[in-house]
Amino acid sequence: MDNTTFNDRLEGIGLSKIAYMVWIVLVYVAAIAIQVYENATVHDIVLLTLFSAIHFFLYYLSVSLQLSKKQSWFYIMLQISLLFLSSFFLHTRIPILLVGILPMLIAQSITIFNSWKKVFIAFIAIYAVYCNAIWLNYGSSELPIFILVFFFNLTLVVFYSVMYNRQVNARIRMAYYLKDLERVHKRVEELTLANERQRMARDLHDTLAQGLAGIIMQLEAVDSHLHNGNTERAHEIIQHSMSQARETLRKSRTVIDDLRSVPVEKNSFNKQVLEQLEVFKQETRINVELLEEPIVNIPYLVRENCLYIISECLANIKKHANAEKVRMEMKIINSEIVIKIRDNGIGFKKKSIGNHAGRYGLIGLFERARLIGGEIQINSDIGIGTEITMKVPIKGEAYGSV
């Protein structure tokens, strides 16, 4: 922002340009009135008009073109030289152009340079030219009066210029922050789309990919049994494959429906868990006990993955546990969602996790928990049952709630 050109600093704020142009016109009208009062010739009036028009034109160019720092210095010096010459060609009792325009050049330098050191240099140059012009044209006796007039005008225009530049700088900072905010917002959108693609890929992997992989393995087994003439076993595997294909289709439809649906409401987590348990009870006739606390205002990503993990746990119990009873607990402890699901099924050896294809799908559950900063603990005893405990932190803004 320090390298902003004068034109950039004026962009969007036309008040300074308009005020300066109005001031030039007022100075010109005052100079004409003084010359008429002093019975000036037409030649003097034409010269005054010419000098005023050149000054006006140079100012217009300075705010219309993107001047560099060096060009801005050249512009200031050119204007000073023009006004210095005008004091010799327009010799009246009151040097109206010097008194009226030079303080405005100092004010303009504040806007152009935006550096008090450079403004001070411009002030010294302008003040030196002013004093020399007064001394050469009117003598040293008139100098103190004209210096007072100069500083009076300078105080007014500098006060206005400082207030104006504060407004300009505030606008520039606001534009800069808005642009930076737009950049960050665009980046957030890109990350959101990337996360959504990853979520879709993960859901499809957990449903279609794993389901089809299991069916392919079973069909390969069928082919082997048919090759050996074991049609009875092949028929059993085909029946199992058909059942698995239906289950994969059901899960795929669920994933598609989730992608189409609007994100669930903040207060619906308990309700959705209850709906899952009702479907589970209807499909399995297994007795389900639920101990719950209201869990509200949790981030959408946490809620989505928790629901998926619960669904997978229930699906595993349905397919593998041979359980008669399921007990589920949901509560919040120390800013963590704690969910426990216990069954009284056949259990399994913990060492077998990941060693058998499709066995409980526990590897996928660990991955889901890791994505939301949580953890899963599994305790299982053969002949007694299995308990899965999930802990997920909900403190902080890492996930962003919906």
Q: How far is CA 102 from CA 117, 156, 166, 300, 370, in A?
A: 18, 13, 22, 64, 70
Separation between Cα atoms, residue 193 and residue 301, nearest integer Å = 14
For 67, phi and psi rounded to 5 degrees? -80, 135
Report pLDDT for 402: 35
Separation between Cα atoms, residue 80 and residue 129, nearest integer Å = 7
pLDDT in tens, 210-266: 677 778 888 888 888 888 888 888 888 888 888 878 877 877 777 676 666 555 454
Instruction: Give the max Cα distance, the chain.
Output: 129
Residues 6+ apart with CB under 8 A from 19: 160
Residue 401 has pLDDT above 80, yes or no: no
Query: CA geometry: angle at 326 spanning 325 and 330, to 5°?
Result: 155
Most confident by average pLDDT, 38-42, 65-69, 170-174, 341-345: 341-345
Separation between Cα atoms, residue 290 and residue 69, nearest integer Å = 75
Residue 135 has pLDDT above 50, yes or no: yes
The tokens of 321 are what? Answer: 């546990």
Residue 10 has pLDDT above 70, yes or no: no
For 192, phi and psi rounded to 5 degrees? -65, -45
Q: How far is CA 286 from CA 10, 280, 343, 381, 382, in A?
A: 75, 8, 10, 20, 19
**In this predicted structure, which of 42-51, 113-122, 186-195, 354-363 has the lowest mean pLDDT?**
354-363
Buried b / exposed e along 38-71 (16+ C-beta atoms within 10 A): eebeeebeebbeebbeebeeebeebbeeebeeee
- Closest of 93, 12, 80, 16 to residue 51, by C-alpha: 80
Mean pLDDT of 52-77: 79
Mean pLDDT of 286-301: 87
- How many Cα neighbours within 13 Å face the side chain of 375? 3
Helix axes 300-316, 362-371, angle to 10 degrees: 170
pLDDT in tens, 353-373: 655 444 445 777 888 888 889
pLDDT in tens, 163-220: 777 777 777 788 788 788 778 877 877 777 777 777 777 666 666 776 777 788 888 8
Report pLDDT for 352: 62
